[in-house]
Amino acid sequence: MKITFTEQAVKEAERRHTERNKANHGRGAAAAQAPFAALFGQGGCPDIPGMGGEKGKSLIELQQEAAEVDVGVLRDYMTVMSHTLSDEDYAKLREEGFGCLSDCQTYEAFDICYDYDIYHVFRDYLDGTAPLARYAEAVNRQEVAYPANYSKLRFLENHDQARAAFLVPDGPSLLNWTAFSFFQKGTGFIYAGQEAGCAHLPNLFYKDPVDWTGPDRSEQFRRLCALKKHPLMTDSAYTVQALPGDVLYAVHRKGNRRLAGVFSVRGAKALVRVDVPDGWYENLFDGGRVEVKDGRVSCRGVPIIIETAQ
């Protein structure tokens, strides 16, 4: 198996490269390279194509070399992730004549895909333009739309999107969304500074250090990372429900074993009905004790994750 670039895509990249060169020549090379000057100096970096000396290989040459790498030989020794797009971006690219692959097709070559197919529903909920049930439906649709062993990169923030602490400034609400993102089937994701509650999205092209003076949430992330290694996280039937009071109830099932999670994404208290036998359980999120009584659990605004053999 090889990753290939179509002739159309190569020609289009060459055309855009030529247009950028013309535009840069018109307004001056210094202006064109201004963002990188802070990192590499006014003379650019001659070892990087397009960054000064132009002695390195072009983007097209690098793409052509990458196309000759037999990824299949390396698959057992690496995890390959694809930066897939939203449905809206896919539709626009196809309208413009580009033969881009859907997430389903991408899984034929890649192990992990970004969660962009449902990220816009998450943002719509935060903006108040979509109910939480629509987001739960979008998550459940992934279970039947993709291969059984699909893995989504479950991010709340990344280098292209606003910080989670910016989008969800309420502490208890952010805590629940964070725990839910790690509870989901797929691959957990922590962006640099997320563990310190950073609300500022750093600029990728200028020196923009992460502010580490915020609240230290590293212990929470350590617990969530450890929980992520639970066998049911990778081999289970996974469902999500939106319950009254802005609560997400998610369950991993495998035979008679299950992991059940209650996430009050508004950080509010709620009495939540769960399909878990009555009794006392350890809350795997924080190590506390949780009681299930008459098929209900009292949520105090903190994530609840319990394991049961029934």
Q: Does position 39 have pLDDT exceeding 50, yes or no? A: no
Domains of the chain by residue range = 1-71, 79-308
What does the pLDDT look like over 3-32, one tens digit per residue? 444 555 555 555 665 665 566 555 444 433
Which of left, alpha, beta for 294 (phi over 0: left; psi -120 to 50: alpha)?
left
What does the pLDDT look like over 118-157, one tens digit per residue? 999 999 999 999 999 999 999 999 999 999 989 999 999 9
What does the pLDDT look like over 288-305, one tens digit per residue? 999 999 999 999 999 999
> Of 46-60, 163-177, 252-266, which range is least confident?
46-60
Matching CATH number, 79-308, of 3.50.50.60, 3.40.1260.10, 3.30.590.10, 3.20.20.80: 3.20.20.80
What is residue 1's predicted lDDT score, i.e. its pLDDT? Answer: 43
Torsions phi, psi for 289 (to 5 deg): -110, 140
**Average per-residue pLDDT for the chain:** 84
What is residue 86's predicted lDDT score, i.e. its pLDDT? Answer: 86
Q: Does position 169 have pLDDT exceeding 80, yes or no? A: yes
What does the pLDDT look like over 173-222, one tens digit per residue? 999 999 999 999 999 999 999 999 999 998 888 889 999 998 999 999 99
Q: Compute the radius of gyration of the chain from its Cα atoms.
A: 23
